[in-house]
Structure 1
């Protein structure tokens, strides 16, 4: 069972995709001898649990054991819904997780541990939604995540650390679940990775990224959550990598690219997000290897490819994205 669903609330560009914790649990209620938990099945449509081939939601205890015979998992169900405390253990008998359920939903304190006994996560749920403080730790005991939730959504500040104790990410929230403020990311050595400002859930202003050595990696302007203006990227050696213009989230104008050695790599013209005009590409030696005519993002006109020595290896002609056959080429101006 997943615990903290932090990943749902992080920007898509974030490099740290947080893994959901899996909790194995059991309950103190007793309905007699427990059934084999490995034969339990969840009906995803109804959200109810069934045992083996039973045709009605399961009521009773379920448990599973390690090959050594030591307990692994124990849970209780009432008409297919988990109830009470669920518990899970490592094979040495120490707790792996504890959760409390009410009417099939997490309700109350949920905790998980690493095999070394270090607390892994601690959070409080209210009828299935995270409520209040939620924390995760690295196996070495250092904090991994600290957040505050309201109705299952993060609010205030969500903080994430690397295992060495360095800050990894900091996200500011206004209304629950809505980013508002500056979101920052750092490399494990403490160097800045990226910075972006949000206003009521939308990126606003300049988003900046840095290479690990502190050199700028990219600068991208945003307006109301959409790319707007000139965006620039740099190679790790400081050479410019790309330069592109956007208007209301769509590529618009000349788009340029360069190789790491500084030689031009490509050029294209966009209008309202679509390629229009001549697109060219060069190899890192400066030799033209591609040239084609485009109209509204469809090949329209000549299409030529060259090898590294400048010899033509492919020549075609297109009309509105469709290749013109050889016997028809004379009809095309």
Structure 2
């Protein structure tokens, strides 16, 4: 597991220690105008602390403001008093480490922010403590490997990103560990051969893509292995088609194989 980046520690610590003043008001008494927060009926940007509460009387959220912008620590709670989220702000933008928790106290998400955008490794967990996903961000965009797991710990998907777009290989699995899907992407678009399988391991479909459009043969099979459909595409448009029922007998239309 990668350690928390040093820049997050350097940025977060002074924000945690800093204060925005003693004045505290209900969040309902504040209003935002053009990105700046004011007390209702006031023309002076608000500096101080605001809070809101759940219907059961427990605190819901607490924020700090400086000159009308969020500054320092902002905290949210679940109805059962368990902390829900902690995030830091600088000049109105998220900065440093942000952490969220499930209602049972288990960590839900964790990741860094820089100038209001997600940065570096971000992680997510299920309520039972098992990892749900992990993804890298650069300037707020997905960049690098994104991985997702089922709650039983089995890997569900792996997707590569570059500058926020899918790039290179995508892999997907069923909860039983059998492969569900495989395909390549280029600059965010499907490119080349894509394959899909049934949960029993038999091939379900295969298709060729070029620049995000179907191009070439697209084939689909029944779960018993019998060919179901064969369509030929050029630049995303179908040019020929053949269909069969589950017994292997030719049929005239796609609708007939759905019966």
What is the distance in 1 between the residues matched to 2:89 and 2:136?
Answer: 21
Aligned position for 2:19: 29
Aligned position for 2:241: 255
What is the distance in 2 between the residues matched to 1:222 and 1:234?
Answer: 18
Q: Spell out the pairing of 1:226-237 with structure 2 (5 A cutoff).
A: 226-237=213-224
The answer as to 2:98 corresponding to 1:110 is yes
**TM-score (norm. length: structure 2):** 0.81
Q: How far has the Cα of 1:148 moved from its partner?
A: 1.8
The answer as to 2:48 corresponding to 1:65 is no
Paired residues of 2:20 and 2:71 also in contact (CA < 8 A): no
Q: Spell out the pairing of 1:43-82 with structure 2 (5 A cutoff).
A: 46-49=34-37, 52=40, 58-82=46-70
Q: Deviations over 1:134-180 (max 9, x none)?
A: 1111111111111222211222211111111000111123x432433
Q: Spell out the pairing of 1:124-143 with structure 2 (5 A cutoff).
A: 124-143=112-131
| Structure 2 gap ranges (5+) | 1-15
Q: How far has the Cα of 1:194 moved from its partner?
A: 0.3
What is the distance in 1 between the residues matched to 2:149 and 2:258?
Answer: 40
How many residues were matched structurally? 244
What is the distance in 2 between the residues matched to 1:284 and 1:197?
Answer: 29
**TM-score (norm. length: structure 1):** 0.64
Which of 38, 61, 79 is the matching residue for 1:91?
79
What is the distance in 2 between the residues matched to 1:29 and 1:129?
Answer: 23
RMSD: 2.9
Q: How far has the Cα of 1:49 moved from its partner?
A: 4.0
What is the distance in 2 between the residues matched to 1:244 and 1:48?
Answer: 57
Aligned to 1:179, the other structure's residue is in SS state strand
Bigger RCO (CA 8 Å, 6+ sep): 2
The answer as to 2:185 corresponding to 1:198 is yes
